[in-house]
Amino acid sequence: MSDNSLVLGGAWMLIALPLLGAAVLLLGGRRTDGWGHWLAVALPAGSFVWAVLALVELLGRGAHERSVDVPVYTWFASGGLEVGANLLLDPLSISFALLITGVGTLIHVYSVGYMAHDERRRRFFAYLNLFVAAMLVLVLADNFVLLFLGWEGVGLASYLLIGFWQHKPSAAVAAKKAFLVNRVGDLGLLIAVMVMFTTFGTVAYSGVFAELDGAGQGVLTAVGLLLLLGACGKSAQLPLQSWLLDAMEGPTPVSALIHAATMVTAGVYLIVRAGPIFEAAPAAQTAVAVVGAATLLAGAVIGCAKDDIKKALAGSTMSQIGYMTLAAGLGPAGYAVAIAHLITHGFFKAGLFLGAGSVMHGMNDEVDMRRYGALRRYMPVTFATFGLGYLAIIGFPLLSGWWTKEGIIEAAFASGGASGQVYGWAALVGAGLTAFYMTRVMIMTFFGEKRWDEGAHPHESPVSMTAPMVVLAVGSVALGAVLVYGYRFAAFLEPAVGAPEEHHEFHFAAMLTSWPSLAALGLMVAGAAVAWFMYGRVPVPRTAPEGNVITVAARNELYGNQINEGLLMRPGQAVTKALVAIDTHVVDGAVRGVATGIRDTSGELRRAQTGFARTYALTMLFGAAVVVATLAVRI
C-alpha cells in the first residue's frame, strides 16, 4: 500500500458511499420507504465532503505532486497481467468528483420535494445513488477498463431513470432508444480499449500514454476515432445525438443531473483524459473539433424550434456540449476551457432544468411552453433563479457562462488557420443562436399573456426544491469568475491535462475588449432582440404556426431520427433477420449437433461403468498398459 493519507488513500469511499445507498435502498425493500430518500441524500453529501477534503489536501501539495494513484484492490496478478482496480486522483478527476457530488447532492435534495408523491420514490433514489457511484467510478478510474465499467454503469442508471415512469410507453421507448444508441458508442469505446490492450499491452492511462511513440499513426488515429465514437454516444454529439431529446421523458431531476450536468459530459472527459492520444493523432483531433462545431450549431437550431421546454433545454445541452467538444478538439489550449465550461454549464444548466421542473410542478406537469406565460409573478423564486441561469448561458458579461464561453471562442480563433476561423465563427453564431432560443424560452414561460390550460393553478415550489435552485443560481453567477479569473483553474488543471504551447497571461481588459468578445456580445444582443420581436412583442399562439422549412426541420430534430431509421434501422433490421436465420440454421444447428453428439457419446460411455469390479480392474489394466506405453517409447 502507498503512504497516502486517510483522505486520499480512502478515495474509494467516494464511490462506496453512494453505492451503499443504492444497495440499502434496493435490497432493503419497503422497510426503507420512510427514511431511504434521506439516506440517499446524505451519502452523496458525504462523498462531497470527502471530495472537498481531498481537494484541500491536493491543493496543499506541490503542483506536480497532485496526481495520486490510489491502489484499491488487486484481484490477481499473474506475470505481466495485473487485474484490479486502482483510482487516480488528480486535478481533473477531483474537479469532476466535486461537480458530480456537489450538483448531485443538490439534485437529490430537490428530488425529495419533486418526487414526494411518487410511490416508487425509494427506487428512484436508489437509481440516483447508483448513478452517482457509477459516474464516480468513471472519472476516478486510473485505467480504461475501469472507466468502461463506470461508463456502462452510468448508461444503466440513465436507462433505468429515463424509463422510470415505465407506465408511459413513450418513456419506455425513450429509455430503450437511449440504451441502443449508447451501445453504438460503447462499442466504439470497447474496441478502442481492446486495440489499446493489444497494441500497448496495458490499459492504464499512464502505461498507454507512455507507449504512444511506439505505435503507428494508423493505430492511433483508429483509437482516437473510436474513442470519439464512444464520446459521441454518451455526450449526444453528431451523429449519435438522437437519444438525448427523447431522454427528457425521464423525471426532471434526472434530466438535470444526468442529461445536463454530468453524464452527458463524460464524452468530453474521455477526450480530455485521453488527450495524449489525440495529440499524437491529429486527424482524430480534427474530427473531434469538427464534430463539436457541427453539434453546437445543430443543437442550437433544434433548441430554437422546440415548444417543449425540456426539449428546448436538451437541444441547448447538445449545443453547449458541442462547445466543450470543440474546445477539447483544440488540444491542450482548449482542455482547460472545455472543462471550465463543463463545470459552469453543470451549474447553470442544472439550475435551468430544475427551474423547468419547478414550473412543470406548478403547472400540472405541462411541458408545452405555448401553455405557459406570465409565470414570473406566480413563481418568483423560480423566475429569479431561472433568469440568472438564462443570463449565464447566453453569456451575459461577467456571469459564469460568459467567462467560460469567451475562453472557448478565443481558443477557437487562436488555434489559427482557416480551421480556426471556421471553429471561431461557428462558436460565435452558436452564441447568437443561444441567446435567441433561451430568450424565447424565457419569454414564453415567464412573460406575455397567460395561455394556461384550464385548471392550472401555478404556485411556487416547496423549499426543498427552491433551495437547490438558489444554490445553483449562485454558482451560475459567480463560479465562472472564480475559475477563470487569473487562469486559476487552468493552472490547477495543467499538471493533469498538459500545458498549452504558448502561455497566455490573463488580461481582464483584453478579454472584455477583444474583437471576438465584442462580436459575441453583439450577436447575443441581436439574438435576444430577434426573440423579443418574435415572441415578446406579439402574442404567442397556443398552437404552433406552420413555420418555414428550417423551422420544420428543427422541430423534427433536423431529421436525425429519419436518417437513422432509413440509413441504419431498416438495413439493420434486414441484416438482423438474415443473421437470425443464419443463427437458427447454421450456428444453432452446429451447437445442437455438438450437444447431441456429446450426449449420445456420454450415453455410450456410461455403459463402461458397469458396476462390476472386474470390468473396472480390466480398465485399469488397460490404462496401465497405455501409461507404460507412453514411457516405453523412450526405451
Partner 1 sequence: MITDTPPSIDYWLLAPMLTVFGAGVLAVLVEAFAPKARRRPLQLALTAAALVAAFVLTVLQVGSVPAEGTTLAMGAVAVDRPALFFHGTILVLAAIALLLIAERRGGEDAFAAQAAAVPGSEEERAHTLAGSEHTEVYPLVLFAVLGMLLFTAANDFLTLFIALEVMSLPLYLLCGLARRRRLFSQEAAVKYFLLGAFSSAFFLFGIALVYGFSGTVGYAGVAEAVQAGGGGAFAGGGGGPLLLLGIALVGVGLLFKVGAVPFHNWKPDVYQGAPTPITALMASGTLVAAFGALLRVFFTAFGDTAEAWRPMIWVVAILTMVLAAVVAVTQRDIKRLLAYSSVVHAGFVLTAVVAADAAGLAGAMFYLAAYGFTTIGAFAVVTLVRTHEGGPEAGELTRWAGLGRTSPALAGALSLFLLAFAGIPLTSGFIGKFAVFEAAVAAGAVPLVVVGVLSSAVTAFFYVRIIVLMYFAEPAADGTVHTARAGALTGTAIGIGVAATLVLGVYPTPVLDHLVPQPGGEAVATAGAFTR
- Minimum Å gap between C-beta 609 and partner 1 is 6
Per-residue contact string for residues 54-73; x = within reach of partner 1 by CB under 8 A: -------------------x
Distance CA 123, CA 101 (A): 19
Per-residue contact string for residues 610-629; x = within reach of partner 1 by CB under 8 A: -x-x-xxx-xx-xxx-xxx-
Exactly one of 3, 30, 62, 76 binds partner 1 (CB under 8 A); that residue is: 76
Strand partners, 83: 76
Identity of the residue, 167 or 606, whose beta carbon is nearer to partner 1 in the bound complex: 606
Which cell goes with 275?
A: 488527450
Which cell goes with 131?
A: 448513478
The yes or no reply on residue 635 touching partner 1 (CB under 8 A) is yes
Nearest to 374 by CA among 185, 539, 574: 539
The yes or no reply on residue 630 touching partner 1 (CB under 8 A) is yes
Identity of the residue, 77 or 552, whose beta carbon is nearer to partner 1 in the bound complex: 77
Distance CA 589, CA 584 (A): 7
Per-residue contact string for residues 427-466; x = within reach of partner 1 by CB under 8 A: ----------------------------------------
- Minimum Å gap between C-beta 626 and partner 1 is 7
- Minimum Å gap between C-beta 85 and partner 1 is 12
Distance CA 428, CA 419 (A): 14
The answer to whether 348 touches 389, Cβ cutoff 8 Å, is yes
Task: Supply φ then ψ for residue 399, to 5 degrees.
Answer: -90, 170
- Minimum Å gap between C-beta 9 and partner 1 is 18
Per-residue contact string for residues 464-483; x = within reach of partner 1 by CB under 8 A: --------------------
- Minimum Å gap between C-beta 29 and partner 1 is 15
- Minimum Å gap between C-beta 74 and partner 1 is 5
Identity of the residue, 574 or 618, whose beta carbon is nearer to partner 1 in the bound complex: 618
Exactly one of 78, 198, 543, 548 binds partner 1 (CB under 8 A); that residue is: 78
The answer to whether 381 touches 465, Cβ cutoff 8 Å, is no
State the number of binding residues for partner 1 (CB under 8 A): 36
- Minimum Å gap between C-beta 594 and partner 1 is 9
Distance CA 578, CA 574 (A): 6
Distance CA 479, CA 484 (A): 9
Task: Supply φ then ψ for residue 74, to 5 degrees.
Answer: -110, 120
Distance CA 395, CA 341 (A): 11
- Minimum Å gap between C-beta 615 and partner 1 is 7
Identity of the residue, 463 or 598, whose beta carbon is nearer to partner 1 in the bound complex: 598
Find the binding residues for partner 1 in span 230-259 (CB under 8 A): none
The answer to whether 375 touches 445, Cβ cutoff 8 Å, is yes
Exactly one of 77, 116, 568, 587 binds partner 1 (CB under 8 A); that residue is: 77
Identity of the residue, 581 or 620, whose beta carbon is nearer to partner 1 in the bound complex: 620
- Minimum Å gap between C-beta 16 and partner 1 is 15
* Number of CB atoms found within 10 A of residue 265's CB: 31
Find the binding residues for partner 1 in span 263-292 (CB under 8 A): none
Exactly one of 79, 169, 214, 216 binds partner 1 (CB under 8 A); that residue is: 79
User: Which residue type, as a one-letter code, is found at position 579?
Assistant: L
C-alpha distance across the termini of the chain, in Å: 55
Exactly one of 3, 60, 75, 501 binds partner 1 (CB under 8 A); that residue is: 75
- Minimum Å gap between C-beta 123 and partner 1 is 22
Identity of the residue, 548 or 602, whose beta carbon is nearer to partner 1 in the bound complex: 602
Identity of the residue, 518 or 617, whose beta carbon is nearer to partner 1 in the bound complex: 617
Identity of the residue, 515 or 612, whose beta carbon is nearer to partner 1 in the bound complex: 612
Which cell goes with 303?
A: 433548441
Per-residue contact string for residues 302-321; x = within reach of partner 1 by CB under 8 A: --------------------
Identity of the residue, 587 or 617, whose beta carbon is nearer to partner 1 in the bound complex: 617
Element (H, E) at 160: helix 144-162
Identity of the residue, 77 or 463, whose beta carbon is nearer to partner 1 in the bound complex: 77
The yes or no reply on residue 568 touching partner 1 (CB under 8 A) is no
Give the long-range contacts of residues 486-491, CB within 8 A, separation 24 or more. Answer: 489/95, 489/336, 489/339, 489/340, 490/336, 490/337, 490/340, 491/63
Q: How far is CA 138 from the centre of its chain?
A: 10
- Minimum Å gap between C-beta 478 and partner 1 is 46
Identity of the residue, 509 or 633, whose beta carbon is nearer to partner 1 in the bound complex: 633
Identity of the residue, 61 or 599, whose beta carbon is nearer to partner 1 in the bound complex: 599
Distance CA 510, CA 517 (A): 9
- Minimum Å gap between C-beta 627 and partner 1 is 5
Identity of the residue, 180 or 620, whose beta carbon is nearer to partner 1 in the bound complex: 620
Could you give the C-alpha distances from 175 to 60, 231, 251, in angstroms and in order? 44, 19, 12
Which of the 8 DSSP states describes residue 73?
E
The answer to whether 200 touches 192, Cβ cutoff 8 Å, is no
- Minimum Å gap between C-beta 82 and partner 1 is 10
- Minimum Å gap between C-beta 568 and partner 1 is 34
The answer to whether 132 touches 107, Cβ cutoff 8 Å, is no
- Minimum Å gap between C-beta 608 and partner 1 is 8
Find the binding residues for partner 1 in span 583-612 (CB under 8 A): 595, 598-599, 601-603, 605-606, 608-609, 611
H runs (alpha helix) in 538-632 = 549-555, 560-564, 570-582, 588-606, 613-632
- Minimum Å gap between C-beta 80 and partner 1 is 11
Identity of the residue, 549 or 613, whose beta carbon is nearer to partner 1 in the bound complex: 613
Identity of the residue, 538 or 632, whose beta carbon is nearer to partner 1 in the bound complex: 632
Find the binding residues for partner 1 in span 334-353 (CB under 8 A): none
The DSSP secondary structure of 365-418, one letter per residue, reads: T--BGGG---GGGT-HHHHHHHHHHHHHHTT-TTSHHHHHHHHHHHHHHHT-HH
What is the SS3 assignment for 464?
A: helix
Q: Which residues contact 595 (CB under 8 A, 6 or more apart)?
A: none
From the number of C-beta atoms within 10 Å of its C-beta (0-12, 13-18, 19+), residue 425 rates as middle
Identity of the residue, 567 or 624, whose beta carbon is nearer to partner 1 in the bound complex: 624
Exactly one of 2, 5, 74, 562 binds partner 1 (CB under 8 A); that residue is: 74
Q: Which residue's C-alpha cell is 481582464?
A: 508
Nearest to 456 by CA among 316, 362, 545: 362
Half-sphere exposure at residue 633, Cβ-oriented, CA atoms within 13 angstroms? 4
Which cell goes with 607?
A: 455403459
What is the SS3 assignment for 84?
A: strand
Contacts to partner 1 by CB under 8 A: 73-79, 595, 598-599, 601-603, 605-606, 608-609, 611, 613, 615-617, 619-620, 622-624, 626-628, 630-635
